Amino acid sequence: MKRLIAALLLTATPTFAFDISAMSDQEKSAFGDAVREYLMANPEVLIESINELETRRAADAAENDKELVAANQQDLFEDGHSWIGGNPDGDLTIVEFIDYRCGVCRRFNQEVHDIVEDDGNIRLVLKEFPILGQDSEASSRFAVAVKQIAGDEAYRKAHDALIELRSPATIEALKKVAEDIGVDPDEIVNTMNTEPVTAVLRENHQLAERMAIQGTPTFVIGSELLRGVPAAGLTETVSQIRNAGGSSEG
């Protein structure tokens, strides 16, 4: 009888609800003892229940993230100010929120660009998302200023240089980067704190806030939001999303 009572509690559904409030105090006490006895004898049931709960939570979170991507499509994929690389007509868009002082972003940078080049059908959107302090902010402002003044090719060179920059992002260091990529250092530095640059970073932060993005790198691949480096690896993740029909942003 005790095992039956415990089993009924663990398998209760909305159509067959177990109402403990209808029990007498004696019945409640007996019921509690039965549940404890059952779980002590069958601890795997509790583990299975926890695993199932985590699975359902993960599924709910993934579905919520898909809804966030759908609700913010325009700002993610066509904001009018982010750098776009790869194949502009590709069947899959990857959006990366980056911080130049983020160690994981640095380590993962080559893999991102390798898959874009090797695949040939990926559109890459980079979003400046400085969250790690003053050097992050200065680096992102520098990159945005380069894009606004000198265009996409200069931005790509600035991006690669900033990812590799290990010294503090001082004005002197940034001017040296500007010289190395062939743009006017003074013009870039004088533009870094202007409203057009600030507006880009503000919009990116507002988008991240709407999507509950708090870290870098964060990826949007097609209709999927990935909070961090894909556990399966970027190549396998792209393949899975394509096979699942999640490659369209429209």
pTM: 0.75
Residue 249 lies in a domain: no
Average pLDDT, the chain: 86
> Is 80 found in the same domain as 14?
no
pLDDT for the residue 1: 45
Residues 6+ apart with CB under 8 A from 180: 161
Residues 102 and 180 both lie in one domain: yes
Same domain for 12 and 128: no
What is the band of 193 on the pLDDT scale with cuts at 50, 70, 90? Answer: very high
User: Is 157:150 a contact under the CB 8 Å cutoff?
Assistant: no
* Widest distance between CA atoms in the chain: 84
What count of other Cβ atoms lies within 10 Å of the Cβ of residue 12?
12
Asked if residue 104 is part of any domain, the answer here is yes
Residues 80 and 150 in one domain: yes
Task: Mark which of 48, 71, 94 sits at the end of a domain.
Answer: 71
- Residue 225 in contact with residue 69, Cβ under 8 Å? yes
For residue 248, tell me if it sits in a domain: no
User: Domain containing 182: what range?
Assistant: 73-243
**Which of 55, 71, 87 corresponds to the end of one domain?**
71
Is omega for the bond preceding 168 within 30 degrees of 0, making it cis?
Answer: no
Asked whether residue 250 is domain-assigned, the answer is no
Domain tally for the chain? 2
> How far is 51 from 49, CA to CA, in rounded Å?
5
User: Does residue 90 sit in the same domain as residue 187?
Assistant: yes
Q: Which of 18-22, 167-171, 184-188, 228-232 has the lowest mean pLDDT?
A: 18-22
- Domain co-membership, 61 together with 138: no
The CA–CA distances, whole Å, from 76 to 69, 205, 225, 240 equal 8, 12, 11, 21
Model confidence pLDDT, tens digit, residues 68-116? 999 999 999 999 999 999 999 999 999 999 999 999 999 999 999 999 9
Instruction: Specify whether 162 is located in the same domain as 191.
Output: yes
